[in-house]
């Protein structure tokens, strides 16, 4: 999982750093072509974030008690995982939105926005 996240981080940094180097038209075509994939990944990121919190809460409900050590051991990792998944969902939401179109200098109606 760590290796995949490193690849994803490197790819996203490369894309964000090289966006000005691409022609505006190429970025717009890329986002338009990947729109179904972006929507699917965004949905999975939000669902994954919900399942991370649900698993964390259910573990404490099932035990019936919460200790400080449990919160330090398991809670911090779960919250970090939740915020990472949630932030990926927000970034993907921005890329496929009208604000993302304006950020990448694409025509606002290229994703169907008018």
Q: pLDDT tens digit string along 82-96?
A: 888 888 888 888 888
Which of residues 108 and 40 earns the better pLDDT score? 40
Q: Determine the pLDDT at residue 96.
A: 82
CA distances from 22 to 34, 51, 103, 104 (A): 16, 37, 14, 10
Residues 50-79: tens digit of each pLDDT: 888 888 778 777 877 777 776 677 667 777
Cα–Cα dist 27/10, whole Å? 18
Nearest to 25 by CA among 109, 107, 112, 108: 107
CA–CA separation, 107 and 66 (whole Å): 52
What is the structure's pLDDT at 95? 85
CA angle 18, 47, 14 (to 5 degrees): 10
Model confidence at 1, pLDDT cuts 50, 70, 90, reads low
Are 89 and 42 contacting, i.e. CB atoms less than 8 angstroms apart?
yes
Question: Are 31 and 22 contacting, i.e. CB atoms less than 8 angstroms apart?
Answer: no
Task: Check: pTM over 0.75? Answer yes or no.
Answer: no
Whole-number pLDDT of residue 2: 67
Mean pLDDT value of segment 19-36? 73
For residues 89-112, give the mean pLDDT. Answer: 79
pLDDT number for residue 21: 53
């Amino acid at each position: 999982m760590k290796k995949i996240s490193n690849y994803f981080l490197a790819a996203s940094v490369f894309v964000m750093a090289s966006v000005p180097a691409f022609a505006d038209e190429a970025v717009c075509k890329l986002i338009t072509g990947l729109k179904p994939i972006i929507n699917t990944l965004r949905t999975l990121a939000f669902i994954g974030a919900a399942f991370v919190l649900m698993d964390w809460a259910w573990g404490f409900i099932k035990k019936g008690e919460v200790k400080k050590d449990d919160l330090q051991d398991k809670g911090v990792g779960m919250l970090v995982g939740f915020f990472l998944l949630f932030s990926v969902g927000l970034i993907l939401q921005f890329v496929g939105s009208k604000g993302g179109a304006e950020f990448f200098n694409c025509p606002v109606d290229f994703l169907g926005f008018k």
